[in-house]
Amino acid sequence: MINGHRLIYFDNAATSQKPIQVIEAMKNFYERHNANVHRAIHTIAQEATELYEEAHKEVATFIGAKGMEEVIFVRNTTEAINLVAYSLGLNDFNKEDEVVITLMEHHSDIVPWEMLSKVKGFHVKYVGVNEDGTLDYEALRNSITKRTKIVCLAHVSNVTGIINDVKEVAKMAHENGSYILIDGAQSVPHMPIDVKELDADFLAFSAHKMLGPTGIGVLYGKKEILEEMKPFLGGGEMIKEVKFDEERKRCMIEWNELPWKFEAGTPNICGSVGLMEAIRYLKKLGMENVEAHEKELTIYTLDMLNKLEDLQLIGTKDPKMRSGIISFNIGNLNVHDVALFLDGYGIAVRSGFHCAQPLHQKFKLNGSVRVSFYIYNTREEIDRLVVLLREIECAYG
């Protein structure tokens, strides 16, 4: 209960709630299998290692990767993007090179490239959006040149919920000889994903947005690309051999095989168990069913919100182009005041820039209120939201 009301949780784009199966799987790991991986031959160390590698295989199957070699465990989507930025950008990008990203990106797909560009001198190019929030594909195509090393974009905007045609963008990039990095934080938890069908070079996503724990995420990368990339972090686990060369008076290092080459130090083993259990939960539901449920809620919500006179929706009203993320403003009301009012009745929403300030700047907004759905949300909860939004309109309109 929140403030005496049953919780209605509409902040799933920030993080999802966890089913008991995930919590129990992680509890069971700590009670029965807690040991480090890839280091010892005793029984529970072998059990922990088997679980950890099994989690890699489960993720690979879930997203259609060729094998566990293409699945790297990181802390979150942000670290996955940073891994690509620093492993590729720091070693392979030059002053004449370009990185193409869009104005709808989460800050985690903007800040790393801007930071690294200050070091390497390459140019970061931004592609705008149309007035309805959809990606300007013509501008994107024109922005990709022979100097473009990588194109980075969100599969689904975490502000508007607009679904980008990443398969078409991958085609644009590959025709030019460029890589594509897809931010799948808002797509992998909500729809069927096949990295081979999308022809993604890289795909980043987080466990905590898909019923799993915080502190673990995934970077998918094509095996042939990962094999050529240098590690992002150095230390234990990511090396096969370290030998001291007496003649040179220095250590000679040989990298480990994939994916361990990119997983330095002791990983979040228990987190991988939680992620694996979350994926199994979603697979039992069927990702097609997850997507259909959210689409139904989105269509219903857009229809209900359209009846509110003072509500301004951000992005297209076409439900076919959206996922279960809806951001809006009510008149000139402060977005945090709206969120606090709703919280008083047990409804959890997000307010602010949602880590996507440039997109709000594009629409001349000082923030927005965001509702985002997942498998446990219902029409009745949406009805309750709309009743309270109508009260706000009546009181302050």
Contact 99, 149 (CB under 8 A): yes
97-115 tens-digit pLDDT: 999 999 999 999 999 999 9
Q: How confident is the model at residue 66 (pLDDT cuts 50, 70, 90)?
A: very high
pLDDT at residue 54 above 80? Answer: yes
pLDDT at residue 352 above 90? Answer: yes
pLDDT at residue 357 above 70? Answer: yes
pLDDT score of 246: 78
DSSP 66: S
Percent of the chain with pLDDT over 70: 100
28-38 tens-digit pLDDT: 999 999 999 99
> What is the mean predicted confidence (pLDDT) over 231-241?
88
Class of 8-18+286-396 in CATH? alpha beta
How many angstroms separate the CA atoms of 390 and 369, rounded?
Answer: 15
User: CATH for 20-284, among 3.20.20.140, 3.40.640.10, 3.40.50.10540, 3.40.960.10?
Assistant: 3.40.640.10
What are the sequence ranges of the domains in the chain? 8-18+286-396, 20-284
Same fold, 8-18+286-396 and 20-284: no
Q: How confident is the model at residue 393 (pLDDT cuts 50, 70, 90)?
A: confident
> What is the mean predicted confidence (pLDDT) over 82-90?
94
Least confident of 53-62, 85-94, 204-213: 85-94
**Nearest partner of 40 among 276, 237, 273, judged by Cα:** 237
pLDDT score of 397: 60
Q: How confident is the model at residue 244 (pLDDT cuts 50, 70, 90)?
A: confident
How many angstroms separate the CA atoms of 64 and 226, rounded?
Answer: 17
DSSP 133: S
How many angstroms separate the CA atoms of 241 and 318, rounded?
Answer: 55
141-157 tens-digit pLDDT: 999 999 999 999 999 99
Mean pLDDT for all residues in the chain? 96
pLDDT score of 242: 82
Point out the residues that are catalytic: 355
**Nearest partner of 327 among 340, 314, 336, judged by Cα:** 314
Percent of the chain with pLDDT over 90: 90
